[in-house]
């Protein structure tokens, strides 16, 4: 989005452009297949036909970080997996967002010991936290809608990731 | 079935002078460190106990001498019987001959025991960490090592809690 940042504040042109850009970003946000543990089952259930996530634009989940915008950290992150997750996040192109799904990704959950990272926000900047162990598919969809609201409020001239 | 198990247990007891304990059809034999490999070879060759299904360690810290005990579980497929073997390992010299020459699948079991307990196995081809990161220090499943509980970080106390967290990038 270099052109818009360089153009600066052009009044109503920029705001209309912002609205269009943000609208289009929310309508086709592809998540990365990053299910680590039990929350991944709920993420799969949310993607399947009963609680459909494709109606929100997430038609498919990409296996490659180079082709995805959204990283849903679903499940507990161990200390051995943490640098791998940071590497995946670094490989995603801007714009990118992170949802911490479940209790273990938000703050360690019921595991408070030497092996589990206490919250994925120690290593990644998180946008939305979804609580639950595991969160119901409807709760995950609610989290995605909250993320959509957040993206609609973004200003393209101040994008910094 | 029972007869085969009794034959095997009697043979081991005669040859190595082991004590045997039985609890609800589960038979455990206690042996010394240097007797384990010959006993397993004998069980594998003569009595057809051909699978090592499990190998773990137990830490009796302060409750019993020697401190660690390694437990082997052998399974005979033709007769469908299981036999448990135990040896004691002391804290000052935590090392033991490796079972990989008798049963090659003991490779990862012994790597896990080295990773979590710190018990070395002589003759193991590739002894390194299996479950924890490569540069981890310590052996967490010993009873005298702290479990490293971290304080939960909320939005009202993150300024006090953050310096204590080694990886927080805020």
Give me the interface pTM, i.e. the ipTM. Answer: 0.73
Predicted model pTM:
0.81
Interchain CB distance below 8 Å, A112 and B150: yes
Residue A135: per-residue pLDDT = 93
> What band does B170 get if pLDDT is binned at 50, 70 and 90?
very low
* A81 vs B: CB within 8 A: no
Cβ-based contacts of A122 with chain B (< 8 Å): 165, 167-169
Angle at A88 between CA A4 and CA B128, to 5 degrees: 160
Residue spans per domain, chain A? 30-151
CA distance B68 to chain A (A): 22
Residue B169: per-residue pLDDT = 53
Query: Which chain B residue lies closest to A111 (C-alpha atoms)?
Result: B149
Residue A3: per-residue pLDDT = 60
Q: Which residue has the tokens 């009873």?
A: B143
Interchain CB distance below 8 Å, B133 and A79: yes
> What band does B93 get if pLDDT is binned at 50, 70 and 90?
confident
Question: Fold for domain B2-141?
Answer: Beta Polymerase; domain 2 (3.30.460)
Q: Please list the ranges in chain A whose pLDDT falls under 50.
A: none
CATH class of A30-151: alpha beta
The per-residue pLDDT for range B35-62, each reduced to its tens digit, is 889 889 988 888 888 899 999 999 988 8
Interface test with B, best of A82, A105, A108, A114 (most B CBs within 10 A): A114
- Which contacts of B118-125 are long-range, i.e. CB under 8 A and separated by 24 or more positions? B118/B94, B118/B142, B119/B57, B119/B68, B119/B70, B119/B89, B119/B94, B119/B95, B120/B94, B120/B95, B120/B96, B121/B95, B121/B96, B121/B97, B122/B95, B122/B96, B122/B97, B122/B98, B123/B97, B123/B98, B124/B98, B124/B100, B125/B100
The per-residue pLDDT for range A20-46, each reduced to its tens digit, is 888 988 888 999 988 899 999 999 999
Of B140, B152, B167, the CB nearest to A114: B140
């Amino acid at each position: 989005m270099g052109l818009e940042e360089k153009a600066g504040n052009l009044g109503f042109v920029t705001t209309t452009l912002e609205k269009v850009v943000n609208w289009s970003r929310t309508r086709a946000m592809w998540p990365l297949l990053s299910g680590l543990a039990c929350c991944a089952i709920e993420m799969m259930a949310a993607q399947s036909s009963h609680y459909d996530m494709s109606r929100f634009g997430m038609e498919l989940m990409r296996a490659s970080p180079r082709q995805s915008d959204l990283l849903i950290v679903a499940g507990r992150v161990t200390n051995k997996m943490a640098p791998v997750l940071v590497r995946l996040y670094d490989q995603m192109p801007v714009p990118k967002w992170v949802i911490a799904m479940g209790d273990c990704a938000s703050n360690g959950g019921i595991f408070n010991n030497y092996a589990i990272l206490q919250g994925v926000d120690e290593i990644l900047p998180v946008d939305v936290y979804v609580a639950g162990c595991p969160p119901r598919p409807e709760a995950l969809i609610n989290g995605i809608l909250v993320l959509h609201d957040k993206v609609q409020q973004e200003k393209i001239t101040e994008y910094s990731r | 079935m029972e007869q085969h198990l009794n034959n095997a247990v009697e043979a081991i007891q005669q040859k190595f002078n082991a004590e045997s304990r039985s609890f609800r059809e589960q038979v455990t034999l206690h042996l010394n460190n240097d007797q384990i490999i010959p006993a397993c070879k004998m069980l594998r060759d003569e009595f057809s106990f051909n699978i090592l299904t499990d190998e773990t360690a137990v830490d009796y810290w302060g409750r019993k001498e020697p401190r660690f005990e390694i437990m082997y579980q052998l399974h005979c497929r033709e007769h469908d019987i299981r036999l448990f073997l135990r040896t004691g390992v002391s804290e000052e010299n935590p090392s033991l001959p490796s079972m990989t020459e008798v049963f090659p699948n003991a490779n990862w079991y012994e790597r896990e025991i080295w990773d979590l307990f710190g018990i070395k196995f002589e003759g193991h081809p590739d002894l390194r960490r299996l479950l924890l990161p490569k540069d981890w220090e310590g052996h967490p499943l010993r009873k005298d090592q702290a479990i490293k509980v971290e304080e939960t970080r909320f939005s009202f106390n993150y300024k006090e809690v953050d310096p204590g967290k080694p990886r927080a990038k805020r």
